[in-house]
Homo-oligomer: A and B are copies of this chain.
Amino acid sequence: MDTLTHLSHTLREAMSDIVPESHPEHPFNLIPELCRKFYDLGWATGTGGGISIKMGENYYIAPSGVQKERIKPNEIFVLNASQDVVEEPRTEKQLKISECTPLFFNAYRMRGAGACLHTHSANCVLISLLCDREFRISHIEMIKGIINNETKKALGFRDTLVIPIIENTDFERDLTASMAECMERYPESCAVLVRRHGMYVWSDTWQKAKGAVECIDYLMGLAIRMRTLGLEWEPKDVK
């Protein structure tokens, strides 16, 4: 590590002992950082997409209808388990909480998730149009990055990853019931695709949720290229 970077790290760590919110992985800092990453990947452009992380008893949620790559640490809402705002963003801007909030809480309530992510990746939309009720793929190494929500174990190379698909609604909040109903029918799944819209992905920690969304988006992008090349998603004869 070079000297200036070292100095900066030392100062940051000293400060994060005193003010925990200054830690780079505190949700106040992590949500803006991950939103920038999602924006750069095309998953959260045009104010689309969203990120929510749980820490302790608090649920941190990004504002609605803002440029996701420009969110600042003082623009995050803090909620409790009853979905009440316990801490408003510390900014003069008039912000509304993300419309995805009740959908994020499906993952918190029903699965005890530690983070729930929402992307508008074009891969999701295309896959939702190429599939009927489920996206299914097997025998690709990256499937091993997905955790079965019931067994809590990672999927194996020969397992079929199944992501259920629900129909889109006119308003985001109206997806709450059908997403919950879908999660009940698919207890092993860590994600729900919304047709013509995007995807919700959750896991025990933000690290695992981020890993899952990366694996699933990789697999969907791969599947689309496979389709163009005439390759099967669920092959019968793999050694």
Interface residues of A (CB under 8 A from B): 1-4, 8, 11-12, 15, 22, 24, 29, 42, 45-48, 67, 73, 120, 122, 125-126, 129-130, 139-142, 145, 156-158, 167-170, 194, 196-198, 207, 210-212, 214-215, 218, 221-222, 224-229, 231, 238-239
Contact = CB atoms under 8 A, between A and B. Distances in A.
A45 to B, nearest CB: 4
A29 B5 CA distance: 12
Contact of A156 (B11, B170, B196, B218): B170
Contacts of A12: 2-4
Nearest to A4: B8
Contacts of A22: 1-3
A72 to B, nearest CB: 9
A141 B198 contact: yes
17 contacts: A1-B22, A2-B22, A4-B11, A42-B218, A48-B142, A120-B218, A122-B222, A125-B222, A126-B222, A126-B231, A129-B229, A140-B196, A141-B196, A157-B169, A157-B197, A167-B239, A224-B229
